[in-house]
Each structure stands twice: as structure tokens, then as C-alpha cells.
Structure 1
Amino acid sequence: MRLVSHPVLCNYYVTYRCNASCSFCDIWEKPSPYITVENLKENLRDLKALGVKVIDFTGGEPLLHRQLDLLLREAKAHGMITTVTSNGLLYPKYAERLRGLIDMLHFSLDSPDQEEHDKSRGVKCFDKVMESIEIASSFGERPDIIFTVFEDNIGKIRQLWEDICLPHNLVLILNPVFEYNNVGSNLSKESLAELQWWAKQKNVYLNEAFIQLRLDGGNRVDNPVCKAASTTIVISPENKLVLPCYHLGLRDFPIDGKLFDLYHSDEVQKLVALEGRLPACESCAINCYMQPSFAVEMNKYWWKALPSTIKYNRMKGTWKQMVRF
């Protein structure tokens, strides 16, 4: 049963550029401009009209955008819940400007071991993450740690949890690796079972529907769980609407200040109707699109996701913002 029929999330790519070169990501390889404040203002008007409640300023590395604080202020002025994920390299430099503007601030950290983390990111950033945690915490920002889980680092979760997250009272977000475009990999059933145990621990968030979906073999085109195109608006640095999702990216449409009308156009809605049903959608388990998919349709994944969703909102206090909507 569909509970919400309108988009709830915007993945707004402020740039594809990045100052790291992670082995499990190919976004940083793309040439890219930066979005403009003027385009954002136009799009925020229409995003709100479409029903979007959360805007994720993403990339690339979003802190490379020198006007990120202005982008965040505009989003907050429109009543949006804001989220930013950073590798930490630039946060100490811009922390004061960003203070109080990010509702969900995430720092990527994939190992408690400096050398191992820096190797996975292709740049020395471990020390900057630790510095960023101290600065953000001193501002009362309560950042989260996003740990992308692979077969070769799952054994490091405990040390990172005990040595970094618990002493700083940070939420550890476990992000199971996913495969796309010959990038990334899959996790074994043994590792998935271990993650299910971690989902129950203090200060740990893991959407358990992610695990169930992987055990089920991912999205099925004959009965898709993916609702990427109808739940998530994807806007590129070129100010284009990307469909059906960023990772598949079959089509993009110039927005030209008319996002609301464009989204409801016949051409776009025909692509929306194909969400989860295209050949490339078979076996997909991409977290950033499955998370909103699980939230809008009552099925077994909705029920699997519910306890962890409630847990995160209680830990972070974000339920207070949600009830406004």
C-alpha cells in the first residue's frame, strides 16, 4: 500500500568534483561545474511545491562549493531539513560558516586505522575527520560517522565504535557497500548477519531493510521495491533533472526554472513509471534510493526499516522536525 505519492527527498549534486578519489566511487572522475544560488532559489520554490521535505547537498565533496553556507541558508528558509556528508578535509576551514545550518551532518570514516582509511579514500584525511569531529561537537552539531562496510573492514567496526563513536557520543551509521557500474562489491551472508547484530547496539544506526533486500537478491523488475524516481528528485550540477536516478541516469532534462512543471510533464512521468522496472534495475540495492523507497510504501521492507528509523530519530531528535510536516 502506497503511503506517500509525492517526492520526499532531493539529492542536490552541488558539484561532481571531489578532493578525494575513493576506490568504491566514480563520481569524482567526472568533469563538473558548480550549482548557482540563483538556480537553487528557483528550484527550492518548486521542490517545496512538489512536497519535498529533505534536501541532501551532495557531490562529489559538497564543501568544495564556496557558497555552501548560502545554499544551506536558502534551504532552511524554505523549511527544508538539510543534510551534508563530507570527507572532513575542508570542514575545519568552513565550520564556523556552516554552524547551525546542517540538520544531519555526516563525516565519512571507514576505519579506526589512519593508514587504512586514507588508503581507501585515496588522500590523507583521517586526521581532518578527527579534527572535524572535535570542532563540530564543540559547536553542538552532533555529527554522525558514516562507515561504508566492506568484507575487508567489517572487523574494524568495534574498534571505531568503542574508540571514536562512544567517547564522543556519536551515532555510527553503517552503510553496506553496494555495486553499480562495475564499482563497489557485495557482502557475504555471514557479514550481513554480523551487521544485523550491530544494528541492535547502542549509538549504531543501520537500516535493517538494507540487509533484508540483499538477502532477497535486491530489487526485482517484475515486482520492484525501488521507488527512486517518485520519491527522490535528483538535480545535477548542470541544473538538470536526472532520471530515473543518479546511478542509472538514462535521461536528463534542463530545468530552466520550471522544475514543478517539468516533473509533471508526460515525458518525465513516463520515466517515473518505469522506476525499478528497467533491465539495469534488476538486483539493485543502492542505499540512497532504497531508503526513501522503504518509507513510502507499506510492505515487508517498510516494517523492517521502521525500528531502525525510530531509533535514529530518537537518538538525533529529528522527530521534532518531522512532526512539523
Structure 2
Amino acid sequence: MRLTSRPVLCNYYVTYRCNAKCSFCDIWEKPSPYITLEDVAQNLRDLKRLGVQVIDFTGGEPLLHRQIDAMLGMAHDMGFITTLTTNGMLYPKLAERLKGKVDMLHFSLDSADREEHDTGRGVPCYDLVMKSIEVAKELRERPDILFTVFRKNLHQLEEVYQKIILPNKLLLIINPAFEYNEVETGENLTPEELDYLAAFGRRPQVYLNEGFVELRRDGGNHVEKPVCKAASTTLVISPENELVLPCYHLGTKRFPIKGNLLALYRSQEVAELKRQEGRLPACEGCTINCYMQPSFAVEVNKYFWKALPSTLKYNYMKGTWKRLLPFSK
């Protein structure tokens, strides 16, 4: 049963440029412009009319955009839940400008060991993540630590939890790694390792969408009966101001927005691509978290029920549910 036909999330790529060179990502290799504030303003108005609730300003490294604070402030003032993930390298310099504008602020950290984290990120940034935590706490912001899990760093979860999460009273987000295109992320987690993750996700101050675990146990999305609803739940906007369908990682079709996102999204051509969501050959076995999370939220199935407890836990802890109430807008 489908709960809503409206999109709930916009992944807004402000630039593909990045100041890190993560081994599990190819975005930083792409040439890229920066989105314009004027296009963002127009698109936010259309996203509001479409029913979108969450705007994820992403990249690349979103803090490379010199107007990121203005974009976040605009979206936040319009009643959207705003989210941003950063490697922390620029956050200490920009923290004052960002204060109060990001509902879900994530700092990427994949190890409690400086050398191990910096090797995976391709640049020395561990110390800047630690500095970012310190600065955010001074400003009374409530950042989360986003831990991308591979087999090679699974052993680091406990240390990050004990040494960084608990002493700083932060929330740990467990983000199971996924493969896409030609990007290699190493061996898949074993059933025993998935069980370990699921148990870890039930600890205090930890968030893991158990739907992610269940989907990996099932071998990912299957085209004959797709769980992925990427194109109908999530709008992807590129730095070139294009609507990308069915998702960023496939990027099968790109439509120039030209100031009219609302009409474009409701067009026949886009509707046809939405009907193919989760059914394209490249969709077989897909486990990409940023599209599965909204997919689990709109369709009542076993993944919906698996995801529900952790989703409620996170939104309660962060207080983001208050932003969805009519009188908060």
C-alpha cells in the first residue's frame, strides 16, 4: 500500500567539487559548476508546491559553495527540514554562518584512528572533524557522526562509539557502504556482520535504518518486484540546474529545469521514467541508502516496518518531527 504519491525528499547537489578524495566515491573526479542562488529560490518554491519536506544540500563538499548559508537559511525559513553532510574541513570557519539553519548536520567520520580515517578520505581531515565537533558544541548545535561502514572498518564502530559519541553526547549514524557504477567498496558484509550492525543500531545514541540491513539480506532491489521508489519519492537536482532521473547514481536522463521545475516534474516524459523506477537493468541488486530510505517511508511492506522504529527514534532524538507540524511553518 502506497502512503503518498508525492515526493518527500530533494537531493540538491550544490556542486560536484570536493576538497577530499574518498576512495569509495567518484563525485570529486567530476568537473562541476556551482548552483546559483536564483535557481535555488525558484526551485524551492516549486518543491514546496510538490509536497517535498526535506532538502538535502549535498555534493561534492557542499561547504565549498560560498552561498550555502543563504540557501540553507532560505529552505529552513520556508519550513523544509534541512540536512547537510560535510567532511568537516571547512565547518569551523563557516559554523557561525550556518548556526540554526541545518536541522540534520552530519560530520563524516569512519574511524577513531586518525591515520585510518585520513587514508580513506584521501586527505588529512580527522583533526578538523574533531575541531568541528568542538565548535558545533560551543554554538549549541547538535551534529551527528556519519560512519560509513565497510568490512575493513567495522571493528572501529565500538571505538568511535566509546571515545567520540558517548563523551560528546552525539548521535552515531551507521551508513552501510554501497556499490554503484564502477566504484568499488570492497566485499559485502556477511550475514553475521549484518547481525552485528543490527544489534549495534539498537544502542542508545545510535541510528541504523534496519530496512537497510534487511534489504542487504535479501540481495538488494529486484527488478521483478522493486522496493526502490527513487524517482517518485526523491527529486535530484544537479549543479547544472537539471532534474536527474531516475536517480543521481544512474543518471539515465537529465532535463534542464529552466525555471519551471513544477511543470517539468509533472510532464509525461518524467512520468514515464517514474514508472520505470527500480525496474531498469542497473537497478538489480541496488542498495543505495539515500534512495531506499524515502522508498521505505512511503510503501507499507516489510521494509517499512523494519525502518519505522529507528526512524521514529532518530526524529524523536533530533526533534525534527516538530518541523513537520502545521503550526511550525
Is the TM-score greater than 0.5? Answer: yes
Give how far 1:322 is off. Answer: 2.5
Paired residues for 1:296-311 under 5 Å: 296-311=298-313
For 1:117, the equivalent position in structure 2 comes to 117
Note if 1:88 corresponds to 2:88: yes
For 2:154, the equivalent position in structure 1 comes to 154
Question: For residue 230 of structure 2, what is the amino acid of its counterpart?
Answer: A
Distance, in Å, in 1 between the alignment partners of 2:78 and 2:315 is: 22
For 1:42, the equivalent position in structure 2 comes to 42
For 2:287, the equivalent position in structure 1 comes to 285
Distance, in Å, in 2 between the alignment partners of 1:234 and 1:263 is: 11
Question: For residue 131 of structure 1, what is the amino acid of its counterpart?
Answer: K
Question: For residue 32 of structure 1, what is the amino acid of its counterpart?
Answer: S
Q: Deviations over 1:232-268 (max 9, x none)?
A: 0000000000000000000100000000000010111
SS of residue matched to 2:244: strand
Note if 1:8 corresponds to 2:13: no
Q: Deviations over 1:107-161 (max 9, x none)?
A: 0000000000000000000000000001111111110000000001111101100
Paired residues for 1:206-245 under 5 Å: 206-245=208-247
Question: For residue 112 of structure 1, what is the amino acid of its counterpart?
Answer: A
Q: Deviations over 1:33-85 (max 9, x none)?
A: 00000000110110000000100000000000010011111112221110000
Distance, in Å, in 2 between the alignment partners of 1:20 and 1:79 is: 31
Distance, in Å, in 2 between the alignment partners of 1:227 and 1:2 is: 10
Distance, in Å, in 2 between the alignment partners of 1:148 and 1:268 is: 32
TM-score (norm 2): 0.98
List alignment gaps of at least 5 residues for structure 1. none
Question: For residue 32 of structure 2, what is the amino acid of its counterpart?
Answer: S
The question of whether the paired residues in 2 share the 8 Å contact of 1:177 and 1:187 is answered with no
Question: For residue 147 of structure 1, what is the amino acid of its counterpart?
Answer: F
- Correspondence for 2:297 among 295, 298, 302: 295
Q: Percent identity?
A: 67
The question of whether the paired residues in 2 share the 8 Å contact of 1:16 and 1:237 is answered with yes
Question: For residue 293 of structure 1, what is the amino acid of its counterpart?
Answer: S
SS of residue matched to 1:131: helix
Give how far 1:314 is off. Answer: 1.7
The question of whether the paired residues in 2 share the 8 Å contact of 1:17 and 1:31 is answered with yes
For 2:252, the equivalent position in structure 1 comes to 250
Q: Which runs of 4+ in 1 moved over 4 A?
A: none
Give RMSD over aligned pairs: 0.8
SS of residue matched to 2:151: coil
Question: For residue 35 of structure 1, what is the amino acid of its counterpart?
Answer: I
SS of residue matched to 2:152: coil
Distance, in Å, in 1 between the alignment partners of 2:322 and 2:79 is: 13
Greater mean deviation of Cα atoms: 225-234 or 135-144: 135-144
The question of whether the paired residues in 1 share the 8 Å contact of 2:79 and 2:323 is answered with no
Note if 1:17 corresponds to 2:10: no
- Correspondence for 2:278 among 276, 279, 292: 276
SS of residue matched to 1:148: strand
Give how far 1:323 is off. Answer: 3.0
Give how far 1:318 is off. Answer: 1.4
Question: For residue 77 of structure 2, what is the amino acid of its counterpart?
Answer: A
For 1:145, the equivalent position in structure 2 comes to 145
SS of residue matched to 1:152: helix
TM-score (norm 1): 0.99
Distance, in Å, in 1 between the alignment partners of 2:76 and 2:325 is: 16
| Length, aligned pairs only | 325
Note if 1:58 corresponds to 2:58: yes
